[in-house]
Structure 1
Amino acid sequence: MTKFIFSLAIISLVFQCNIISAVFGYINKNLKDPIAKHPIPMAVVEKPIDDKIKLLVTPEYLEYDPAKGTNCWVDINLAAPVYEEDDNVRAPVDIVAVIDRSGSMGGGKLELVKKTLHFVVTQLTPKDRLCLIVYDDTVDLVFDLTSLTPENKIDIEAKIDAVQTRGSTNLCGGLLKGMQVIMSRTGVKADVASVLLLTDGLANVGISNTEGIIQAMKDPFAHDIAGSAKREAKKPQSRARSLISSLKGEPKEGATGGMEPADLKAANEFTGTVYTFGYGSDHNATMLKDISQAANGVYFFIDTNEKIPESFADCLGGLLSTVGQNISLKVELSNGATITEFIAKKTPTFNANKTSAEVALGDLQSEEQRDVLMELQLPVCSDLGADGGILNYASITLSYFNVMSSVMETVKSDLPVPRTNTGKPKTSNPLIDKQKNRILTMKALEDAKKKADEGKYEEGRELLMATKQQVAISATSDEIMVQGMMDDMDDMWDGMVDSAKYNSYGKSRAVNAVQAHCEQRSNFQAAPGKIMSYETKSKVAMKKKK
């Protein structure tokens, strides 16, 4: 057993044991009251009261028999601080709006997009900058990054109003130009920078396949806007596996790209994010999801024109409340423990004997949480004696850039695990139960989509209902976020009635929902009476302004 030399480490260990005790005390209390509600985030995750991300690490059970080797699930929870709306405190943003102006954007779509851009202009201040790029067959820079002073806003709004529809869809050209603008910034560069890409159709000019676009994103300056290579682009370093595929320990079948954001940054210093917006039923939802995922953003599916301002407000509310960037999590095991499973939004790297892991987790916005599920193999430790004891099995280090204070932060935690056999109830940690429900929901949504893609709509619907029933009897079924998961399965069940419903709504919505649960970030508008998972106060406040 590793001896703790520093008293600070001992204090930290005792503190975390108290947290574990509180978690399971919460469980036992609710076991006595089966109809009690489960406000888990408020009950077991300390509400951040400063500008730092909180790190909470807890095992699944109260104790583990020291005389037996055993598996131990662990939840690593990151909780962002609550950002109080204050333009004097929040970080400035650089936003590049890349707008599809092809002919299909007529019929009121482009006019509604213009109205939404006007809303964006009203919400930004002189410390923020906005750029507008439009694309059809060609790509035009309407105006470069411009500070949102009162005088500039007048000129910007006039230029937005002057945009007209025409031509085809050079989606890749517009995207690359937007990324180039972020990479070529001069003057004071905002820490939060993002490309917002929107389209209602299929890419049909320039690079038009997902694999090619993702490859081009790794080195935007390697291609001209028409898609021709100016030099050999940097080769991808790796492919990201989906969170669901990591459960199976194998690459996601049929993956079309999705390089890690860390690879993008290593290749060309693109430090921004890319958010994509797909309108109606004609766009390639998987392509837009992969594009956003390759650069730490999310994909919004917009099936009605009325959802355009709602989606932009959701996105803008998140960007303006970004609190942590370039988040990296490192786990180092001790006392003979090894990693048997590691489930995160991105693919981790391991050492040779699976005693350490490291993963990039992108950014965090106000109130957001990220969870990493880790399964450990704990060895026999009978040398602890008849009464057993507590062993520390991991040191966890969280590193990130604090946008609110503009400094690099490091947060550390340990994993104390009771190796005793006192006969305490084998009741699962509610944090871990909720995350297992999230994984089940994602797998059901993705597997049902595969069935529907094969025309097996009824099989897909049966799969969704079976998973919903499994989640409904879980210990955390009353928790609001878990109810949102069940609402999503209901929504997909309705979207797979037949081919017409699936092709017009269900397919894009499935892609949208899987990514929301993978990223633990809102990216859609829930139907009336339904719960919108992961929505934060900052996003709600922005939507009320629209």
Structure 2
Amino acid sequence: MGSKWRKARMALGLNLCVYLPKTLEDSSPSSVDSEERLSDAALLSPANLGSSRPQTPTPSSHGLKLSRSGSKSTSKQTCSICLTKMKQGGGHAIFTAECSHSFHFHCIASNVKHGNQICPVCRAKWKEIPLQGPTADPSPGRAPIDPVGWPQNDALMTVVRRLPPRRDLSRRHIVPLFPATEPGIFNDDEPLDHQTMLAERSSSNKNCADDNCFRTIEIKTYPEVSAVSNSKSFDNFTVLVNLKAAASTTTQNPCRDQSSLSQFSQNCRAPVDLVTVLDISGSMAGTKLALLKRAMGFVIQNLGSNDRLSVVAFSSTARRLFPLRRMTDTGRQQALQAVNSLVANGGTNIAEGLRKGGKILEDRRGKNPVASIILLSDGQDTYTVSGSGANQAQPNYQLLLPLPIHSGDNTGFQIPVHAFGFGADHDASSMHSISEISGGTFSFIETEAVIQDAFAQCIGGLLSVVVQELQVEVECINTNVCLSSLKAGNYPSRVMVGGRKGSIDVGDLYAEEERDFLVSVNVPAEFSSNLTSLIKVRCIFKDPLAKEMATLESEEVGIQRPAVAGQVVVSIEVDRQRNRLQAAEAMAQARAAAERGDLAGAASTLEDCRRVLSETVSAKSNDRLCVALDAELKEMQERMASRHVYEASGRAYILSGLSSHSWQRATARGDSTDGSSLVQSYQTPSMVEMLTRSQAMLLGSPSAQRLIRPLYSQPKPR
């Protein structure tokens, strides 16, 4: 005990700290010390997050209480800000508010230092807040609150009161997990374990052979009608090209032992280099940052040992918390500790965060087959581009993206950025533009509870890439047939001079992911034959594990040409995709009208599209996609009820929908917490599996449920 007081007096004399740290004299180095050192990281794991149940403390007679750091109490509450256990005796003061919620003192001090007197959990307004310096005279019947938790009549506090107040108490408790200066070149990524990867690739090939798994693409084609009279000609005859990537072996063999499922899945997929660029500006303080840390904990725990992760945090400036690091057990612990150390403060410099994230992937020495950036922000970039409005010129959002992320309009994109706009105040236009230019998706997170599910869906796809660098080539067979157009959404496409050939650059495909493209051709009258051959489809792609290029061709597509055609039967498959493209076009037109201030015209455009779709063949057959499109268009109409509603959620909701349909990839959007806000039409089994894990973890965590609340209280119009 004497040693502890001696250390405290020395620390106070040097004005270094005002809490008693845990020392080796107090516990055995083999057990307690290691537990304390790794507690922050371990508690962010899904297993512990799901089981941690904070206990509501008993309010003191004075309404507020700071627990002694040196107490021997066995209380194991959970801080509602950083979501780690508040183990008394662990060297951190504990603050209990008058609403009975408890926090680490350094966590809540950071939250209230800007004058915020509202509980981040229950939103109750506090009459007293934790102080960062000497307190004023207490009011009758109330004890003053001190930064270290001892009563002011304690002899030690006479020493504390003589110390000058520190400007930022919260930062004294944050131990940096990254060097004071960053290198000029980010070539310090952790080396890839080539021997392990080769062994696992060999094991993967054997497993795939055992399960009759072949990494390939299935090509299907559907002409809009199967037969037409030989006397008729068509300027725009439509053929649907449907591509579907192979299923992963884990999907094909669901009976595999659960204990080996995770490692097996890791073996049979391409490893990932992932950089998360996270907004930690002042507006992220409190519950937002807590749930972001929890979501990042889920991501870290679900990355494999061959996957590498780097985290960039940005506010007014950007900081790389650690280099690309393999997510082994040690890597996970260090990543979780780094994420747990984040504190919200400052402005929003998205461009600097993306610049640093792109540089990490550009400078790396080794490269995993799959690379991607996840960007999350709840604000607007105030450093690079000016805000947009109805009477302002469109900002150049390309300024937010460094060259490593996009390499120009003619050469496509290099690193996809999957952007997540968070809350009512983020700049949906800029986030959507960032994702569109880079080849990623834009998700709208309207409710805090959806953060983890949105991340889970995204990495569920990234961790299942089975096809890369996919290029689709379309060639006309009949010399009298030529291509008129390729409808491919955001995917770069081109029709060669003469219309004999065309191509579409698709890029990566997740396991069991599908792509649908409408090919329009000119069909001449055909009197000399009973069959007109139209096109042939060829897919050229790379297997990311074998790192070998492969080519796959479809059968020839043709239509019957009888002298007299019978009843014309329209292909449901073709009609369904026409409806999707028509709905996406209506969304784009409605958005343009809304940006001009014509909300009534925007809603009318969406209503007209719904009416047209309702008369189609697929709608009358209750096609699932058509039903989903109608519900989506109706939701967008409701979010255009007023300028306020459109600014708060309508714009982001429409842009997320456009992103999803243009790339034919699932995005998260809306305010639902049960997953129904996700565009299920494009979800893959890998995404669904990861979502199930996320939701199971959240359902088992009462502390997470208490943190969930809407980002704004404006009711959605009905």
Interval containing the TM-score (normalised by the shorter chain): 0.7 to 0.9
Matches within 5 A, 1:142-541: 142-187=321-366, 189-206=367-384, 212-214=396-398, 217=401, 219-220=403-404, 236-238=408-410, 262-264=411-413, 270=414, 272-335=415-478, 336-345=480-489, 346-382=491-527, 384=528, 388-413=529-554, 414-477=556-619, 478-525=622-669, 527=672, 532-541=680-689
Provide, for residues 472-511 of structure 1, a one-character-per-residue CA deviation record: whole Å limited to 9, x for no partner: 2322222222221111111101111111211111111001
Partner amino acid, structure 1, of 2:365: T
User: How do 1:73-84 and structure 2 match up within 5 A?
Assistant: 73-84=238-249
Shift of 1:237: 4.3
C-alpha displacement at 1:111, in angstroms?
A: 1.7
Q: Which runs of 5+ in 1 are unaligned?
A: 1-47, 222-232, 239-261, 265-269
- SS of the counterpart of 1:377? strand
Look at both structures and tell me which one has the larger radius of gyration over its CA atoms.
2
1:496 alignment partner, SS class:
coil
Q: Residue 18 of structure 2 corresponds to which residue in structure 1?
A: none
How far apart in 2 are the matches of 1:519 and 1:331?
Answer: 19
C-alpha contact 1:273 1:297 (8 A) present in aligned 2: yes
Q: Which moved more, 1:357-366 or 1:315-324?
A: 357-366
* SS state at 2:681 partner: coil
Structure 2 contact 272–463 (Cα < 8 Å) conserved: yes
Deviation at 1:126, TM superposition (A): 1.1
What percent identity do the matched residue pairs reach?
A: 26
Relative to structure 1, is the Cα distance of residues 325 and 355 closer, same or farther in structure 2, using a 3 angstrom cutoff? same
Contact between 1:522 and 1:535, CA under 8 Å: does it hold in 2?
yes
Deviations 1:19-43 (A, max 9, x none): xxxxxxxxxxxxxxxxxxxxxxxxx
Partner Cα distance (2:232, 2:429) in 1:
46
> What amino acid does structure 2 have at the position aligned with 1:281?
A
Once the 2 structures are TM-superposed, how far is the Cα of residue 454 of structure 1 from its aligned partner?
2.9
CA drift at 1:214: 2.4
Q: Structure 1 residue aligned with 2:300, among 96, 121, 140? A: 121
Cα gap change, 1:377/1:218 in structure 2, threshold over 3 Å: closer, same or farther? farther
The aligned residue for residue 46 of structure 2 is none
Structure number with higher relative contact order (C-alpha < 8 Å, ≥ 6 residues apart): 1
Alignment RMSD (CA, Å): 2.3
TM-score (normalised: structure 2): 0.60
1:303 CA displacement = 0.9
TM-score by length of 1: 0.78
| Residues in 2 aligned to 1:212 and 1:442: alpha-carbon distance in whole angstroms | 24
Change (3 A) 1:417 1:215: farther
TM-superposition CA deviations, 1:241-268 (whole Å, max 9, x none): xxxxxxxxxxxxxxxxxxxxx433xxxx
Write the letter of the residue equivalent to 2:551: T
Q: Distance in 2 between matches of 1:400 and 1:481?
A: 28
Aligned CA distance change for structure 1 residues 196 and 237 (closer, same or farther; 3 Å): closer
Deviation readout 1:261-308 (Å, 9 max, x if unpaired): x433xxxxx3x3211111112222122112112222101111111111
Do the aligned residues in 2 keep the contact of 1:525 with 1:532 (CA within 8 Å)? no
Q: Which residue of 2 aligns with 1:63?
A: 227
Q: Which moved more, 1:459-468 or 1:127-136?
A: 459-468
Aligned counterparts of 2:563 and 2:376: Cα–Cα separation in 1? 57
Please identify, of 139-148 and 447-456, the stretch whose mean Cα deviation from structure 2 is larger: 447-456
1:333-369 per-residue CA deviation (whole Å, 9 max, x = no partner) reads: 2321122222112242222222211221122112221
Q: Is the 8 A contact 1:218 1:263 kept in 2?
A: no
Give CA-to-partner distance per residue, 1:135-171, whole Å, 9 cap, x none.
1222211001101111222222111111111221221
| C-alpha separation in 2, matches of 1:282 and 1:216 | 18
User: Could you tell me whether the CA contact under 8 Å between 2:446 and 2:669 is conserved in 1?
Assistant: no
Q: Which runs of 5+ in 2 are unaligned?
A: 1-211, 251-264, 388-393, 695-718
SS in 2 for 1:409: strand
Q: 1:180 to 1:208 in 2, by over 3 A?
A: farther
| Displacement after TM superposition at 1:312 (Å) | 0.3
SS at match of 1:306: helix
Rounded to whole Å, the distance in 1 between the matches of 2:461 and 2:627 is 23
C-alpha separation in 2, matches of 1:453 and 1:307: 27
Is 2:709 the partner of 1:545?
A: no
Could you say what secondary structure the match of 1:263 adopts? coil
Instruction: Describe the shift of the 1:211–1:370 C-alpha distance in structure 2 as closer, same or farther (beyond 3 A).
Output: farther
1:198/1:146 CA distance change after superposition, 3 Å: same
Spell out, residue by residue over 1:391-427, the C-alpha distance to the aligned partner (whole angstroms, 9 max, x if none): 3222321111223543222111222232323422212
Distance 2:384 2:644 in 1: 30
| Aligned mates of 1:545, 1:525 — CA distance in 2 | 19
The CA distance in 1 between the partners of 2:277 and 2:631, in whole Å, is: 32
Q: 1:129, 1:145 within 8 Å by CA — same for their partners in 2? A: yes
- Indicate conservation of the 8 Å contact 1:481/1:534, yes or no: no
SS in 2 for 1:476: helix
Deviation at 1:540, TM superposition (A): 1.4
Residue pairs, 1:2-17, within 5 angstroms: none
Q: Single out whichever of 446-455 and 48-57 deviates more from structure 2.
A: 48-57
Q: State how far apart, in whole Å, the 1-side matches of 2:602 and 2:401 are.
A: 34
Q: Cα gap change, 1:407/1:215 in structure 2, threshold over 3 Å: closer, same or farther? A: farther
Letter in 2 for 1:279: F
Question: Offset at 1:219?
Answer: 2.1
Cα shift readout 1:361-382 (whole Å, capped 9, x = no counterpart): 1221122211111111112332
Using the TM superposition, give the Cα deviation of residue 89 of structure 1 relative to its aligned residue in structure 2, in angstroms: 1.2
Letter aligned with residue 286 of structure 1: S
State the distance in 2 between where 1:431 and 1:208 align.
44
Per the alignment, residue 14 of structure 1 pairs with: none
| Residues 83 and 366 in structure 1, CA contact (< 8 A), matched pair in contact too | yes
**What CA distance in whole angstroms lies between the structure 2 residues aligned with 1:307 and 1:186?**
35
Asked if the contact 2:377–2:426 (Cα under 8 Å) also holds between the matched residues in 1, the reply is yes
* Contact 2:314–2:350 under 8 Å retained in 1: yes
1:83-162 maps to which residues of 2 (within 5 A)? 83-85=248-250, 86-162=265-341
Residue type at the aligned position of 2:644: A
